[in-house]
Amino acid sequence: MAQERKAMRQRIKAPRALNGEVSPPGDKSISHRAAILNGIAVGKARVSNFAQSADCFATVSCLRALGVKIESLEGETLSIEGVGESGLREAEDILNAENSATTMRLMAGLLASQSFLSIITGDESLRSRPMGRVIQPLRLMGAQIWGRSVDSRAPLVIKGGQLKGIDYTLPVASAQLKSALLLAALFAEGDTVITEPSPSRDHTERMLKAMGAKIKVAGNAIGISRGRLKAIDLNVPGDLSSAAFWLVAGSIHPQAHIRIRNTGINPTRSGIVDVLRNMGAVLNIEDEHITSGEPLAALSVQSSRLHGTEISGEIIPKVIDEIPLIALAASVAEGKTVITDAGELRVKETDRISATVKELSRLGADIDELPDGMVIRGVKKLCGSTCDSHRDHRLAMMLGVAALIAEGETLIDNAEVVNISYPKFWQDLECLSKK
C-alpha cells in the first residue's frame, strides 16, 4: 500500500494483503461516562486506557472547568478526584463540547441539577444537532433550559435547581438521552423511571450499578433513585465501534486475516458482529472475560464471501454508528441489502445517509438513498476516486477501508477528522497493510 499524508488529504492504494493484530482505542462511550461519574463520586479513581479522542477530552475539559480535579498520567490513564454530590462549581466561562454530542447531552443532564448558571456550546456541526429531545424531559424534572432555534439547538443556557423524579418514555432509543436523564435523576427528589422503545447501549447503567447507585433494570425500563456514588478504578475496554472498521476490512479484502485485541463486546453494542456473521463473515470471538462489569474479548476475522441482508427494527440502535460500514460491506456482497428504520443517521455529525450514498457512489457502488436508510446492490469491485469525509470521523474511516479494496488510488479529503475518535487509525491501517 502506498500512503502519503499531505495536510488534510489521505492517499491510499489497495494492499496485497491485510494481516496482523491491532488494539482499538479505549471505548469512547465508556470513557465519557467514567470521567463524569467518577467526577461526581466520592473518592479517587484511576481510569486506564481512557480514549485519546477529541470528544472525550472535551468532556474532561468541561469537568475541569466545573472544579473536578483530573490529572493525566502515563499510559493513557487519568486520575480523577470526585467532588461528591454538591462539589461542582459554576464555570468561569462558557463550556465547550467541541464536536461531541455525548458531552453536550450528558453534561446537560448533570448541569440541570446544579444551583448555578451554565452555558454550553460546541462547533458548527454540534450546534446544528437536535437538543430538544434532552431539553423537554429535563424541563419536566424542573430544570430551566433555553437554546437556539426555539430551544432545539445549542448553545444551551442551563439554570439548574432542585429536580423531581419523573416517569418518562423516550421518543427514540438513545443512550445519550437516557444517560442525561439518569445523571439528572441522581440529584432528583423521588424515583425516576425511564422506558426505552428498544434497548440502547447500557454502559451508564452498568457503571452506575458498580458505583453503588440505586438502580434497577427490568426489560426496557430503568428505575433510579437519588444516591451517592463511590469512585471506582476502571480499565476501559477497546472500542467495538473502532474495531468494526477492521472487522469489515478483514471480511471484504480478498487476502486478510486480522485479530483485534481487548475489545468490548457489550451486547447492546455488538450488532455489527451479528450483522457481519449473518452476511457470511468468518468472524470468531475468543478469550471472553469480564472487566469492570463490561464483557471483553479478542475478535478475529478473515476474508469472507458476503451476501446481502435486510437490516431494520430493534437491531438498528445496536449498529447505528456502523451503518456506513455495513453499506460498504454490502457494496461488494452478493445480492441486495436493504437498510431501513435508520433515520437517526440524518442528524449525526453530518447526514450520514446522504453522505454515505454520495461517497460510495463515487467509488462505483450501486447504492440508492431511502428516507430512513439505503438500498445497496453488490458489485464485483470498487474503483479508486477522490472522496470527502464531510468532516465526519466515521465516514473518513469507512472510506479508508473502502480504499483497501478499490482498484487504483483513492484520495480522502479532510482525513484528519479521524482524531475525533481514533487518532491512530491511519497508522494502524498502514501496519495491517502488506505490500
Give the model's pLDDT for residue 8: 72
Cβ atoms of residues 276 and 303 within 8 Å: no
Single-letter residue type at 391: R
| C-alpha of 189 from chain center | 31
In a 10 Å sphere around its CB, with 0-12 CB exposed, 13-18 middle and 19+ buried, how is residue 228 labelled?
middle
Could you tell me how many helices (H) and strands (E) the chain has, helices first? 15, 27
Helix (H), strand (E) at residue 257: strand 256-264
Cα separation, 170 vs 196, in Å, equals: 5
DSSP 332-346: TSBSEEEE-S-GGGG
Report the candidate in 45, 77, 145, 65 with the shortest Cα–Cα distance to residue 105.
145
Q: How far is CA 34 from the centre of its chain?
A: 14
Give pLDDT, residue 89: 97
Question: How far apart are the C-alpha atoms of 134 and 151, rounded to whole Å?
Answer: 10
Q: Which residues are catalytic?
A: 321
Reference 45, options 12, 84, 6; nearest CA is 84
Task: Round to whole Å and give the CA distance between 141 and 162.
Answer: 9
Q: Which residue has the cell 461517497?
A: 359
Cell of residue 423, nine digits: 487518532
In a 10 Å sphere around its CB, with 0-12 CB exposed, 13-18 middle and 19+ buried, how is residue 318 labelled? buried
3-state secondary structure of 84: coil
pTM: 0.88
What pLDDT is attached to residue 6?
Answer: 44
Q: Which residues contact 193 (CB under 8 A, 6 or more apart)?
A: 165, 166, 167, 168, 221, 222, 223
Would you say 42 and 62 are in contact if contact means Cβ atoms under 8 Å apart? no
Q: What is the pLDDT along the chain (435 residues), one digit of tens a residue?
A: 333 334 479 999 999 999 999 999 999 999 999 999 999 999 999 999 999 999 999 999 999 999 999 999 988 999 999 999 889 999 999 999 999 999 999 999 999 999 999 999 999 999 999 999 999 999 999 999 999 999 999 999 999 889 999 999 999 989 999 999 999 999 999 999 999 998 899 999 999 999 999 999 999 999 999 999 999 999 999 999 999 999 999 999 999 999 999 999 999 999 999 999 999 999 999 999 988 789 999 999 999 999 999 999 989 999 999 999 999 999 999 999 999 999 999 988 899 999 999 999 999 999 999 999 999 999 999 999 999 999 999 999 999 999 999 999 999 999 999 998 999 999 999 999 976
pLDDT at position 3 is: 39
The cell numbers describing 55, all together, are: 470528544
Domains within the chain, CATH numbers bracketed: 3-26+238-434 (3.65.10.10), 28-224 (3.65.10.10)
Instruction: Report the amino acid identity of residue 65.
Output: A
The CA distance from 58 to 78, in Å, is 14
Give Cβ neighbours of residue 32 (< 8 Å, ≥ 6 apart).
Answer: 55, 56, 59, 100, 102, 103, 106
| pLDDT for the residue numbered 75 | 83
* 3-class SS of residue 368: strand
pLDDT of residue 259: 98
The whole-number pLDDT of residue 242 equals: 96
Question: What pLDDT, on the 0 to 100 scale, is given for residue 435?
Answer: 63
Burial string for 23-50 (b: 16+ CB within 10 Å, else e) reads bbbbbbbbbbbbbbbbbbbbeebbbebb
Grid cell listed for 415: 482525513
The whole-angstrom distance between residue 414's C-alpha and the CA centroid of its chain comes to 20
